[in-house]
């Protein structure tokens, strides 16, 4: 399971570096909005992959403690996204980020229409 999460992380890092021309570090953010790759489907694919891994491990091991940790982690990451990341991205990218948030969901990808 870990390799799937690591794979998502590597894809996201590649998108930051290759398209956004930045890093994951808040001190070196990408100068361009990277709405490509996995970011076309959800705005937070790295966080979503961690959530899926934690939830899967909690369910697989039937660990109430791990499931409680997962819930706490998800509440925390939502607070970070809502009160730090998104406001910073709105300031940095303005109208393009507003359009992005209108078309790409924060956590759950929209069903693909045929």
Summarize pLDDT for 22-58 with one digit per residue, the tens: 666 666 666 777 777 888 899 998 889 889 889 999 9
pLDDT at 36: 76
* CA 43/CA 100 separation, integer angstroms: 9
Cα atoms in the Cβ-side hemisphere of radius 13 Å centred on 31? 1
The mean per-residue pLDDT over the stretch 65-81 comes to 96
CA-to-CA dists, residue 5 to 29, 86, 95, angstroms: 22, 23, 31
39: DSSP letter: G
Q: For tokens 């300031």, what's the residue?
A: 91
* CA 26/CA 102 separation, integer angstroms: 24
Residue 10, class by beta-carbon neighbours within 10 Å (0-12 exposed, 13-18 middle, 19+ buried)?
exposed
* CA 98/CA 104 separation, integer angstroms: 10
pLDDT at 46: 84
Q: Yes or no: say if 67 and 18 are a contact pair by the CB < 8 Å rule.
A: no
Annotated domain spans of the chain: 2-103
Has residue 75 got a pLDDT over 70? yes
Per cent of the chain over pLDDT 90 is 45
């Amino acid at each position: 399971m870990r390799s799937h999460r690591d794979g998502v992380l590597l894809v996201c890092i590649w998108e930051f570096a290759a398209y956004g021309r930045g890093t994951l570090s808040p001190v070196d953010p990408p100068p361009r909005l990277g709405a490509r790759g996995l970011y076309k489907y959800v705005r937070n694919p790295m966080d979503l992959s961690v959530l899926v891994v934690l939830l899967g491990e909690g369910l697989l091991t039937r660990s109430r403690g791990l499931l409680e940790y997962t819930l706490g982690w998800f509440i925390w990451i939502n607070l970070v996204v809502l009160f730090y990341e998104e406001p910073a991205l709105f300031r940095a990218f303005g109208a393009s980020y507003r359009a992005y948030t209108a078309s790409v969901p924060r956590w759950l990808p929209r069903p693909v229409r045929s």
